[in-house]
């Protein structure tokens, strides 16, 4: 099925796309049918029709599933993020100042602050930004990166991080323009995002882990290179992770059964209740025991993050899908070109 859209692709300008699938996501209270399309020009995957920006923003309120995760688990996950992002550019940054866009509850910036970096976060969720500020001590602007870039006196940074962010952005061009303003000439932007070229999409289709209603733009290697190059960046390194092909999914009737809206909504409700119970327990424990748990989790994450080596030394970096960058996620390390040849 093809579509000649009224509006051209925001990245490459193509007006043609192909429908990959349609589904629903009752577990996320997503309104209506979820349709994922692939741009014929740059292979970017996108929602059609897109949600209005104000509707999308409402998803990131207090009950957003990502912010209900256990803090200990988040710090462990963040240590892995450090090793496949900051560890690869650490020695190239002339001044230890870093901006993280979409910093969530501040775990990655807390690790960097512990290592002597001057940190600044930008987070759309006011609740997550407040947590980063008050619990982890990471200064965080609550709002969109475009709003932060427009503030008077904001200085560009030698390192900008955007981890698990670009797939959520409703206007990638405006987002990238603001990010460019916040990156020093000669500074680095590191992006970690789901991979539209992932081989596992071919077999898993709508069951691929990178697909959910919050991921409204999923970039291919070509699309992300075009987006960055036109905004003054040169891509120095691009690689994938999650480089292991997964087996064929269950037979079609089993998949339809597992994706039945009633079954999925009941399971989702139980999962959300369990998540909220864990969050409530963590809050009570924090009130009773101060920040002992946070301190312990941060210390363990710092140790894990800063051990010798990086992601490129791990087995997954040489997995079957690595050579063609067809793993589930991609990491892009881009440098902002110096103006006037400086």
Helix (H, G, I), strand (E, B), or coil: what is residue 248?
coil
Residue 25 confidence (pLDDT): 74
Cα 329 to Cα 241: distance, rounded to the nearest angstrom: 5
Q: Is 256 exposed, middle or buried (0-12, 13-18, 19+ CB in 10 A)?
A: exposed
Residue 10 confidence (pLDDT): 87
**58-341 sits in which CATH class?**
alpha beta
Give the pLDDT means over successive 10-residue stretches in the chain (342 positions).
58 92 74 86 88 66 56 88 96 96 95 96 91 94 95 94 94 95 97 98 91 89 95 96 86 53 54 51 47 79 92 96 97 86 38
DSSP 177-215: HHHHHTEEEEEEEEEEEEBTT-THHHHHGGGSTT-STT-
Q: Identify whether the C-beta of residue 40 lies closer than 8 Å to the C-beta of residue 14.
A: yes
Phi-psi region of 141 (alpha: psi -120 to 50; beta: other; left: phi over 0): beta
Residue 104, token pair as written in the block? 């969530």
The single-letter DSSP state of residue 219 is: B
Cα 9 to Cα 48: distance, rounded to the nearest angstrom: 12
Instruction: Say if residue 40 is preceded by a cis peptide, omega within 30 of 0.
Output: no
pTM for this predicted structure: 0.85
Q: Identify whether the C-beta of residue 157 lies closer than 8 Å to the C-beta of residue 187.
A: yes
Cα 166 to Cα 172: distance, rounded to the nearest angstrom: 7
Residue 5 confidence (pLDDT): 45
Residue 185 confidence (pLDDT): 96
Residue 277 confidence (pLDDT): 54
Q: Identify whether the C-beta of residue 245 lies closer than 8 Å to the C-beta of residue 322.
A: no
């Amino acid at each position: 099925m093809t579509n000649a859209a009224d509006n051209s692709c925001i990245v490459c300008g193509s007006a043609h796309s192909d429908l990959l699938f349609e589904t629903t996501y009752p577990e996320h209270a997503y309104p209506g049918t979820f349709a994922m399309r692939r741009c014929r020009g740059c292979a970017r995957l996108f929602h059609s029709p897109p949600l209005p920006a104000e509707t999308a923003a409402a998803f990131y309120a207090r009950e957003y599933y990502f912010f209900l995760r256990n803090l200990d688990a988040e710090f462990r996950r963040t240590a892995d993020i450090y090793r496949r992002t900051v560890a690869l550019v650490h020695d190239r940054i002339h001044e230890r100042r870093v901006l993280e866009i979409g910093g969530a509850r501040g775990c990655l910036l807390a690790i960097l602050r512990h290592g002597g970096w001057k940190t600044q976060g930008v987070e759309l969720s006011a609740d997550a930004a407040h947590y980063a500020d008050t619990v982890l001590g990471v200064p965080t602007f609550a709002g969109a990166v475009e709003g932060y870039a427009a503030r008077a006196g904001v200085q560009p940074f030698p390192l900008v991080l955007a981890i698990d962010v670009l797939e959520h952005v409703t206007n990638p061009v405006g987002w990238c323009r603001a990010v460019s303003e916040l990156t020093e000439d000669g500074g680095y932007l590191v992006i970690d995002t789901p991979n539209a070229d992932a081989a596992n999409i071919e077999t898993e289709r709508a069951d691929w882990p990178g697909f959910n209603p919050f991921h409204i733009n999923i970039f291919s290697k070509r699309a992300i290179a075009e987006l960055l190059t036109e905004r003054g960046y040169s891509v120095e390194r691009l690689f994938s992770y999650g480089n292991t092909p997964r087996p064929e999914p269950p037979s079609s009737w089993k998949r339809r059964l597992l994706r039945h809206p009633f079954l999925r909504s009941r399971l989702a409700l139980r999962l959300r209740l369990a998540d909220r119970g864990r969050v409530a327990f963590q809050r009570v424990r924090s009130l009773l025991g101060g920040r002992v748990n946070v301190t312990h989790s941060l210390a363990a994450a710092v140790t894990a993050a800063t051990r010798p080596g990086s992601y490129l030394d791990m087995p997954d970096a040489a997995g079957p899908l690595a050579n063609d960058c067809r793993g589930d996620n991609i990491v892009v390390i881009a440098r902002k070109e110096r103006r006037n040849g400086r």
